[in-house]
């Protein structure tokens, strides 16, 4: 069954806080700089939380602590002895989705997978597929997309 990423309640909260800051700036001249700063920061954070990566992040929270199979552009992650990882954390900040992974067979190794500008996502109970991305990084190194491939940018599935 396909799911939709939920609307983040924190984004709504920051937009409300931004409106309060704007109202403060308009109604109380003594507090105008504080109100404008509060409004600007709150609107920026709220917009970040309403973005696709933040919504994907909240939809992927049930995968935390679970063993998953990861592939990027149709292949396992570079320098990985196995395609199995444990999801430690998932975060969406700005236009990127960050997935912190630990190797399933080694407690020390792992890294952060960054998917910039994810798009065309499909969420099910067993799998997430992100069809397009501007780029994908694994441990701060860009994973090159093979020429002529139509494989999705990222697939995370239960083994």
* Residue 57: predicted pLDDT: 80
Q: How much is the pTM? A: 0.74
pLDDT digits (tens, 9 = 90+) for 89-114: 888 888 889 999 988 776 556 789 99
* Cα–Cα–Cα angle for 19, 8, 70, rounded to 5 degrees: 145
Q: Which of 24-38, 51-65, 86-100, 123-137 has the lowest mean pLDDT?
A: 51-65
* Confidence category of residue 10, pLDDT binned at 50, 70, 90: confident
Percent of the chain with pLDDT over 70: 91
What are 39-93's pLDDT values in tens digits? 999 888 877 777 778 778 877 888 888 888 988 998 888 877 677 888 898 888 8
Owner of token pair 């002895």: 81
Residue 119 clears pLDDT 80, i.e. is over it = yes
Q: How big is the chain by its Cα radius of gyration, in Å? A: 19
HSE-up (13 A, CA, CB side) for residue 45: 17
Q: How crowded is residue 108: how many other Cβ atoms within 10 Å of its Cβ?
A: 6
SS (H, E, C) the chain: CCECCCCCHHHHHHHHHHHHHHHHHHHCHHHHHHHHHHHHHHHHHHHHHHCHHHHHHHHCHHHCCCEEEEEECCECCCCCCCCEEEEEEEEEECCEEEEEEEECCCCCCEEEEEEECCEEEEECCCEEEEEECCEEEECCEEECCCCCCCCCCEEEECC
Domain ranges for the chain = 9-50, 56-157
pLDDT given at position 22 = 92
Tell me the mean pLDDT in the region 28-45.
Answer: 89
Provide the pLDDT for residue 1: 45
- What token pair was written down for 73? 């552009």
């Amino acid at each position: 069954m396909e799911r939709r990423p939920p609307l983040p309640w924190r984004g709504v909260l920051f937009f409300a806080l931004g409106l309060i800051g704007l109202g403060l700036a308009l109604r109380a001249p003594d507090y105008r700089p504080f109100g404008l700063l509060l409004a600007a920061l709150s609107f920026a954070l709220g917009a970040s939380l309403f973005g696709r990566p933040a919504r994907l992040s909240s939809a992927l929270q049930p995968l935390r602590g679970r063993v998953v199979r990861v592939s990027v552009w149709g292949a396992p992650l570079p320098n990985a002895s196995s395609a199995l990882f444990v999801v430690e954390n998932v975060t969406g900040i700005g236009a990127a989705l960050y997935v912190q992974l630990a190797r399933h067979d080694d407690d020390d190794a792992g890294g952060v997978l960054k998917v910039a500008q994810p798009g065309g996502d499909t969420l099910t109970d067993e799998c997430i597929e992100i069809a397009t991305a501007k780029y994908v990084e694994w441990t701060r190194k860009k994973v090159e997309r093979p020429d002529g491939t139509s494989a999705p940018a990222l697939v995370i599935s239960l083994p």
